[in-house]
Amino acid sequence: VWDNCLSFIEDNIQPQAYKTWFAPIKAVKLTDNALSIQVPSKFFYEWLEEHYVKLLKVALTKELGENAKLVYIIKMENTYGNQRPFTEKIPSSNRTHLQPQELDVPVKHKNPELKNPFVIPGIRNIKIESQLNPNYNFDNFLEGDSNRLARSAGLAVANKPGGTSFNPLLIFGGVGLGKTHLAHAIGVDIKDKYPEKTVLYISAEKFTQQFIESVKKNTRNDFIHFYQLIDVLIIDDVQFFSGKSGTQDVFFHIFNHLHQNGKQVILTSDKAPVDMQDIEQRLLSRFKWGLSAELQTPDYETRISILKNKLYRDGVDMPEEIIEYVAKNIKTNVRELEGAIISLIAQSSFNKREVTIDLATQIVEKFVKNTKREVSIDYIQKVVSDYFQMDVATLQSKTRKRHIVQARQLAMFFAKKFTKASLASIGSQIGKRDHATVLHACKTVDNLAETDKQFRKHLEDLSKKLSQ
């Protein structure tokens, strides 16, 4: 076991460091999953713990599994050239009388954190930046019928993080309805009330990237440990986990640990748990443990108050009828509502002209049009399969029939062109392919469009249909 560990370690550090710090170590004994190693001095042991504990942990876990333990035995040379174990209270007169079997005395740690060699010393002192945006708070998250449940659940959680039955709290709803804002607001409020609590906001996408990175660097356990130190974990847009089983797996472990220890988990998603696709059942069932609260599209009154609040905060006056006009015409998305009003303010100050209904009409029209133009991947698949007279399931199927493959590649190409989705996300939505397949599809479409006249015709027809 130790030889395997050594060769792994040797591959991962400088030869000189290896020679100095690992070559002198002797493996003494292996019981169950505990490996005892003998090191030449206390200083040596401390140095290992300080500089190589992660590496040792990874190496040992690879050999002995998650529960691997490491026991250090420290030996010191005495004046007689014999070896004796280091223990804390051996009267000096007894030292030379120690028998060999007594060598196996584990180090008594003064620092309790060192008891378990897999706790990275000092990590508890690392300050975790919460990544919260103070501009997203409860004060400027306006209440309305559409968000009352989610908002008050958020407040309840902020008052007693981990201490309500809303754990996890899952906030779900469509684009631009305030999920991210509310998630930050909860975190900001908790930080306010409980400054000593470790709060972390992270997008599911970033969490996934970090995880993949940790696998590459062989630091998966550190990644898990890090997340297990958090008191309030906020993960935004968990629908991003769909189809990513490795990430779901690691999140499942972290979630269980936090939940068992009374820590608060807050999640957001663009769908209700029942509608989530490609998320493992065991995770979905965890999501349902707490409360799922929906953010709905805001009603007219709420839209008005959001607009007024925005104007008030920016110190801008706007005729009542304009505000009403905007609120009447932009209904489904708070982000667009804000976007339209910001545009209006900008236009009027830019051109130094009064905000008129005319100007408002122009701007609102642009916003409404823009939203219509944003097509979904589902819609693209539907249009492409209709065009080729097949159903969506056929388009997504594993078949290699040429015309179906081409239809699928076109759908991928248009998804790349017309949506902001990542290659990976496009792939997972079009028949669970990976990002490389999508990339390949886009290249193939480009090539075929140049060389194949009929294919070019399909491409142009579809392009027209989709931009209507």
Kindly list the residues in this chain that would bind Mg ion in the complex (CB under 5 A): 179-180
Cβ closest to Mg ion, residue 181 vs residue 244:
181
Q: Is 2 in the site for ligand ADP (CB under 6 A)?
A: no
Q: Write the burial class of residue 139 (CB in 10 Å: 0-12 exposed, 13-18 middle, 19+ buried).
A: exposed
Give me the helices (H) in 95-236, please. Answer: 148-159, 179-193, 204-216, 220-228
CB of 345 to ligand ADP, least distance (A): 15
Contact between 180 and ligand ADP by CB under 6 A: the answer reads: yes
CB atoms within 10 A of CB 166: 22
Out of Mg ion, ligand ADP, none, what residue 147 binds, judged by CB under 5 to 8 A for its kind, is: ligand ADP
Selection from Mg ion, ligand ADP, none that 244 binds (CB < 5 to 8 A by kind) is none
Beta bridge partners of 30: 35
CA 86 and chain centroid, separation? 45
Residue with tokens 């931009």: 467
Are 416 and 423 in contact by the 8 Å Cβ rule? The answer is yes
Minimum distance of ligand ADP from residue 142's CB (angstroms): 4
Contact partner at residue 334 from Mg ion, ligand ADP, none, CB < 5 to 8 Å by partner kind: ligand ADP
In the complex, what is the shortest distance from the CB of residue 297 to ligand ADP, in angstroms, rounded to a whole number? 10
CB of 17 to ligand ADP, least distance (A): 47
Binding to ligand ADP (CB under 6 A) within 427-456 occurs at none
Tokens 């990430």 map to which residue?
Answer: 247
Question: For ligand ADP, which residue has the nearest CB?
Answer: 178
Nearest residue (CB) to Mg ion, 85 versus 173: 173
Residue 178 within binding range of ligand ADP, rule CB under 6 A = yes
Q: b/e string for 325-350 if b means 16 or more Cβ within 10 A?
A: bbbebbeebbebbebbbebbbeebee
Q: Say if CB 271 and CB 279 are below 8 A apart.
A: no
Residues 114-153 that bind ligand ADP (CB under 6 A): 140-142, 147
Binds ligand ADP (CB under 6 A): choice among 175, 346, 357, 393:
175
Chain residues 322-341 in contact with ligand ADP, contact rule CB under 6 A: 334-335, 338
Cβ neighbourhood burial of 317 (10 Å; 0-12, 13-18, 19+): exposed
In the complex, the residues that contact ligand ADP under the rule CB under 6 A are: 140-142, 147, 173, 175-181, 306, 334-335, 338
